Copies of this chain bind each other. A is one copy, B any other.
Amino acid sequence: MYTVKEVAKKMEVSEHTIRFWAKSGFFPFVKRNSNNIRQFEENDLEWVRIVKCLRGVGIDNKSIKKYIELCIIGDSTIKERYDIIKKTREKAQKQMKELKKQLELLNFKENYYNELIKNNSKDTWNPMNKK
């Protein structure tokens, strides 16, 4: 049993975001205790994990809601859920490619600046220096 705060810490998402997601209907199955406090079970964390994953890959909240709703409907929606996950996985792979390129550029620039500092030389690449 976890409170929102504990879930937030465990899953590395802000409390605000967990509450926002809860309000958005992403966790329709989370119970409350007699004081109206949300009690996330171990199982519920699995849902936080998948929501975090989908958001992390840039799936919008409306689509996430739809996915959750398909889960609620049950086994008749497995094919549809499969399609969503597949498309999301493809999207994530594209992002991975992008991120690799960005990392390369950052590595290049870090190196470049590092050399400049070491050799105390001018930044000849910076177009501002050509004016």
Enumerate chain A interface residues (CB-CB to B < 8 A): 29, 43-44, 46-47, 49-50, 53, 56-57, 71-72, 74-75, 78-79, 81-82, 85-86, 88-89, 92-93, 95-96, 98-100, 102-103, 105-107, 109-110, 113-114, 116-117, 122-123, 126-131
| Given A92-B103, A127-B43, A109 and B29 contact (CB-CB distance below 8 Å) | no
Expressed in whole angstroms, the minimum distance between the Cβ of A115 and any Cβ of chain B is 10
Q: Which residue of B lies closest to A88 (CB)?
A: B106
**Cβ B114 vs Cβ A71 within 8 A:** no
| Given A82-B117, A103-B89, A98 and B129 contact (CB-CB distance below 8 Å) | no
- What is the oligomeric copy number? 2
**Cβ B105 vs Cβ A49 within 8 A:** yes
**Cβ B110 vs Cβ A79 within 8 A:** no
Q: Which residue of B lies closest to A57 (CB)?
A: B102
Expressed in whole angstroms, the minimum distance between the Cβ of A88 and any Cβ of chain B is 6
Expressed in whole angstroms, the minimum distance between the Cβ of A57 and any Cβ of chain B is 6
Instruction: Find chain B residues with CB under 8 A from A96 CB.
Output: 96, 99-100, 103
